[in-house]
């Protein structure tokens, strides 16, 4: 379906992720891995999702793509922990690239001194701002910055919005790299590197493994049912929401892209690594044949600046 025919205004995938956070929020408090009480504001049909409840929604998600829900939730939790640690350890600015309906700026109890920049396309950001409660919108430490990574300069927009090149910063690009060209990712990382020459910075990027196209079985856990068919279904669903997955990477490619720009990879994990940390303690560990590991979560640290964040 072409974007113009879609019911979503560039926000189909942002809604999709918010829906998974809503589903997780519906779990019993001692069973959930993250909580996002505002997610429902951004999900079409939220009342129906709430009526179905956590268990039924997760069961349904398992039927479509085992592990998909847990993969999104593990990504959210992984970044939540990264941001909490980085802000405690001295990060002064946090730039959320492709923020969508991410409520991390308000969900986590972050220090009020942390300056947060939310970056996204104007259509998505306007919708987000129209749905947020007034008291959250007025938070003085959050600044909204509109950028289209494919044809606008992140540097100009961020600096105009008050980004300070001398402050230690953490950037996250969560669930975005698959939707934009490799050229746009490369120029965004170059801009981030040049913006942070005078201070330390940490960069998080998630990316879809290139084996999704080349060898789908390798993208899932051993025994994952109908891997090739599921890989196709997942990419088709995204295209239907108006935002097809167009860019896939190998670990070497990401590592080289980051190192060319002065970053070294500190961590590269998937749901396979996080399952035992997040889901086992609440009695929801996935068996190997339900592990959905096609997306990688990477943390890289810059070589610049005199004050390391950690």
| Residues within the interface to ligand SAM (CB under 6 A) | 10, 13-14, 17, 98-102, 120-121, 124, 147-150, 174-176, 179-180
Burial class (CB in 10 A: 0-12, 13-18, 19+), 5: exposed
Rank residues 18 and 300 by Cβ distance to ligand SAM and give the closer one.
18
Closest distance between ligand SAM and the C-beta of residue 232, in Å?
Answer: 19
Rank residues 130 and 306 by Cβ distance to ligand SAM and give the closer one.
130
Q: How far apart are CA 260 and CA 253, in angstroms?
A: 11
Closest distance between ligand SAM and the C-beta of residue 151, in Å?
Answer: 8
- The dihedral built from the CA positions of residue 164, 160, 191 and 121, taken in this order, carries a sign that is positive
Closest distance between ligand SAM and the C-beta of residue 103, in Å?
Answer: 9
Beta bridge partners, 301, equal 202, 264
Token pair listed for 63: 């039927």
Contact between residue 186 and residue 205 where contact means Cβ atoms under 8 Å apart: no
Closest distance between ligand SAM and the C-beta of residue 75, in Å?
Answer: 7
Rank residues 125 and 301 by Cβ distance to ligand SAM and give the closer one.
125
Rank residues 45 and 223 by Cβ distance to ligand SAM and give the closer one.
45
**Closest CB to ligand SAM belongs to which residue?**
100
Rank residues 221 and 242 by Cβ distance to ligand SAM and give the closer one.
242
Closest distance between ligand SAM and the C-beta of residue 148, in Å?
Answer: 4
Taking the CA of residue 92 as centre, how many other CA atoms within 13 Å lie in the half-sphere pointing to its CB?
12
**Which residues have a Cβ under 8 Å from the Cβ of 207 and sit 6 or more positions away?**
177, 178, 247, 248, 249, 254, 295, 296, 298
Q: How far apart are CA 154 and CA 63, in angstroms?
A: 40
Rank residues 172 and 200 by Cβ distance to ligand SAM and give the closer one.
172
**Of 68, 116, 1, the residue nearest 294 (C-alpha):** 68
Element (H, E) at 277: helix 271-278
Closest distance between ligand SAM and the C-beta of residue 248, in Å?
Answer: 15
């Amino acid at each position: 379906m072409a974007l113009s025919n879609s019911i979503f205004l560039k926000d189909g995938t942002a809604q999709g992720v918010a829906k998974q956070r809503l589903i997780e929020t519906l779990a019993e408090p001692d069973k959930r891995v993250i909580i996002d009480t505002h997610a429902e504001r951004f999900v079409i049909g939220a009342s129906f999702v709430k009526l179905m409840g956590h268990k039924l929604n997760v069961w349904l998600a398992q039927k479509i793509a085992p592990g998909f829900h847990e993969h999104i939730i593990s990504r959210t939790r992984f970044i939540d922990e990264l941001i909490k640690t980085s802000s405690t350890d001295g990060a002064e600015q946090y730039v959320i690239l492709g923020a969508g309906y991410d409520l991390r700026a308000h969900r986590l109890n972050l220090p009020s001194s942390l300056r947060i920049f939310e970056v996204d396309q104007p259509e998505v950001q306007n919708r987000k701002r129209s749905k947020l409660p007034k008291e959250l919108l007025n938070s003085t430490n959050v600044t909204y910055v509109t950028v289209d990574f494919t044809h606008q300069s992140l540097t100009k927009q961020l600096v105009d919005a008050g980004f300070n090149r001398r402050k230690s910063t953490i950037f996250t690009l969560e669930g975005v790299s698959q939707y934009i060209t490799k050229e746009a990712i490369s120029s965004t990382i170059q801009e981030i590197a040049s913006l942070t020459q005078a201070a330390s910075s940490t960069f998080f990027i998630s990316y879809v493994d290139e084996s999704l196209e080349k060898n789908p079985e390798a993208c899932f856990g051993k025994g994952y049912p109908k891997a090739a068919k599921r890989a196709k279904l997942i990419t088709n669903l995204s295209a239907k929401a108006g935002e097809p997955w167009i860019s896939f990477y190998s670990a070497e490619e990401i590592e080289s892209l980051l190192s060319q720009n002065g970053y070294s990879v500190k961590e590269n994990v998937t749901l396979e690594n996080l399952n035992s940390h997040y889901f086992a303690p609440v009695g929801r560990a996935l068996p190997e044949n339900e592990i959905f590991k096609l997306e990688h979560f990477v943390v890289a640290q810059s070589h610049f600046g005199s004050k390391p964040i950690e």
